[in-house]
Chains A and B, each alone.
Chain A
Amino acid sequence: MPEQSPEDRCKNFDEVPLGYTVELAQREASRCLQCKKPACRQGCPVEIDIPAFIRLIVEGDFVGSAQKLKETNNLPAVCGRVCPQEAQCEKFCILGKRFEPVAIGRLERFAADYERTHGEVNLPEIAVDTGKRVAVVGGGPSGLTLAADLAKMGHRATIFEGLHTPGGVLVYGIPEFRLPKAIVRAEVDFVRRLGVEIEANQVVGKTITVDELLETFDAVYIATGAGAPVFMNIEGENLNGIYSANEYLTRVNLMKAYRFPEMDTPVARSRKAVVIGGGNVAMDSARTARRLGAEVHLVYRRSRVEMPARDEEIHHAEEEGIEFQLLTNPIRYLGNEEGWVTGAECLRMELGQPDASGRRRPVPIEGSEFVIEVDTVIVAIGNQANPLVPASTPGLETNRWGNIVADEETGKTSRDGVFAGGDIVTGAATVIEAMGAAKRAARAIDRFLRGEGKKL
């Protein structure tokens, strides 16, 4: 797929991959073998009829292709961009055994983009109104998917979103250059047009509680994500210039600090930034800091093969000149009199025996301390469950990490009529997995609302 050159894109927040032209899309689509028993479908958590939408591209019915996608996936332009297809649909593509798998994600993106940019987006069929009302806590990918699916089934869903804009990680976390916010807005508008109401600025647990919601709604779905940042709790971590990735990305993506002072939210003007971590959030943070003009070092305690980030993201980061300091771990931060960070003291690591996660455990090399001079540090070592909803909902069972305990197939929690899905249940995972959980919960809530709940 054509993309912006690394030299150009380092200076802007425009999308990196430019998308397929009609010709490229049709050429790629025609590679699909249209398997009788398509293996690719088992890899898609939102159950897209992959051969069918690809066939419509071959036939030139691009809008029809988008509608086919939207039969099961409410956010195809998002998924086509941010899904790790190599671990999902494309992993199972039969062509992948000997050749490149069909570029399912890119084709999904093409069809969704085509529909959005070529006239009216049509609505699917919506079932007869059941009069049942469902409150959805959190307007991220899981909440949006569930609300949209329930709306199609004839129920009335209202999303309660804590921030001023719905979208969750799609608007505050994933940068503009990977997922333009205009596209998120368009897909959220599609969900609204299905009849879903979205109430922004509602922090459930503070503004209103789950129990209060249950007074007027027939069921509640909790999808508040894993939005609480993890710090390392090492010396100097509260110095000025040290951010959680959540804060850094929210300032830049949601608040558009990259357009300061045209936008009111500021962000550090870094000369040299260090990003701690090796996941997608670390790559997003590093590439964001690069676009804001910094020289960026990515510090990761294991080696390249253990990095949890997608290969494509690592590759893009390298192309953009992010310097990787692998097998390295910060042990403390140094600061000046005014309280600004000036250096990250790190240790070199080597890999020992595999740990519980199956990855080889990093072991510090004694006496290997060295200092990287920096003016900005972005800590991207993970997120955990935000306790606001569990803490304000008596009887809602959580595990020892604070995640809500919910049935994997139905999303049922320990509270009657309360369902949960996405990162608040699984811990930080992917957008598409959160959407898959929502699809399953939507079916269970539908059964519950139709009075079959007790028979489950």
Chain B
Amino acid sequence: MYPIVKKQRLAPEVLLLEVEASRIARKAEAGQFMILRVDDPGERIPLTLADWDRERGTITLIFQEVGVSTKKLGLLNEGEAISDCVGPLGHASEIGEYGTVVCIGGGVGIAPIYPVARAQRAAGNRVISIIGARNKNLLFWEDKLRAVSDEVLVTTDDGSYRRKGFVTDVLKQLVDGGEQVDIAYAIGPVVMMRAVSHLTMEYGIHTVVSLNPIMMDGTGMCGACRVTVDGETRFACVDGPEFDGHKVDFVGLMKRQQMYLGQEKEARERMGHCRAERDA
């Protein structure tokens, strides 16, 4: 069992959990993920690591309450525990001396972009972070990103905070304004990572995206997470999750993400009934 030592609401439907998992904390690197199973009837779900504390032996998970598993996870309180946590999984981000690195986090993807920005900055790069969300309420960790970035640009789809527009609009302005960008990282919804990749392709900026397909074991034994990269099948859990954004088949990824939509809805409705019955 993996006890929860801290729970914090970052935004409506976005929660932070700090979990005791010393072996994962000891090994974690930027870009890696973990798999958890909330309880015994639970499914295995992947979450990219948002942070870790090697000394305290804790990892930080940030997630949006969208389905049965994340809703169940959100119901756990400090002192309660997650049944299973496995990791760190996948390859770590390639950290190098690139020059100027742009780190783009969209929505709940703001969380996993944080360790990437921190590691790229520590390697001596100039880091510009661009974070965006639908509206002001869904933004978080602006201060944490400021602490590890040379510049932070914030945007909201509806203009309720800072700029109005998408992260791609900000990136475009940045590059058109004469900023020399050597590499871009994008983590967030597939549509956002695809839009970023399309844009940077025009500018010839190498772009790394962190893919989020359906996963089960996370160790390369099933192929549920397979994606097409440069025309070849790759398993995101062991070959990724980071890939060259200019080579990813995003349309294929989006279609595979829809595979269990019907059953996910059914499970959510059933969970709603169970809670209604219990509360009645």
Contact = CB atoms under 8 A, between A and B. Distances in A.
Interface in B40-73: 41-44, 68-69
Interface string B80-101: 0001111111000000000000
Given A238-B228, A266-B263, A231 B258 contact: no
B219 A162 contact: yes
A246 B221 contact: yes
A308 interface: no
A322 B266 CA distance: 30
Contacts of A368: none
B220 A386 contact: yes
A255 B220 contact: no
B87 A203 contact: yes
Bin the interface of chain A by size.
Answer: 35 or more
Interface string A231-275: 101000110110110110011000110001111111011000000
B244 interface: no
Contact of A264 (B69, B88, B255): B69
B252 interface: yes
Contacts of B87: 203, 206-207
Q: Determine the main DSSP class of B at the interface with A.
A: mixed
A266 B41 CA distance: 12
Given A164-B83, A266-B260, A339-B252, A244 B222 contact: yes
Interface in A190-243: 200-203, 206-208, 227-229, 231, 233, 237-238, 240-241, 243
Given A237-B233, A261-B266, A264-B267, A206 B221 contact: no
A277 to B, nearest CB: 15
B134 interface: no
Contact of B84 (A164, A206, A227, A250): A164
Q: Determine the main DSSP class of A at the interface with B.
A: loop
B174 interface: no
Interface of B: 23-24, 27, 37, 41-44, 68-69, 83-89, 216-217, 219-224, 226-228, 233, 238, 252, 255-256, 258-260, 263-264, 266-267, 270
List 3 A-B pairs, minimum CB-CB distance, nearest first.
A339-B255, A247-B222, A266-B263
Given A203-B89, A228-B221, 17 more contacts: A162-B217, A203-B86, A207-B24, A229-B222, A238-B233, A238-B256, A240-B255, A240-B259, A243-B223, A246-B223, A250-B221, A251-B216, A255-B43, A261-B267, A265-B43, A266-B260, A388-B238
24 contacts: A163-B217, A164-B37, A202-B86, A203-B219, A228-B221, A231-B233, A238-B226, A238-B233, A240-B259, A246-B222, A250-B217, A250-B221, A250-B222, A255-B216, A261-B267, A261-B270, A264-B42, A265-B216, A266-B43, A266-B264, A266-B267, A339-B255, A386-B219, A387-B220
Interface of A: 162-164, 200-203, 206-208, 227-229, 231, 233, 237-238, 240-241, 243-244, 246-247, 250-251, 255-256, 260-266, 268-269, 338-339, 386-388
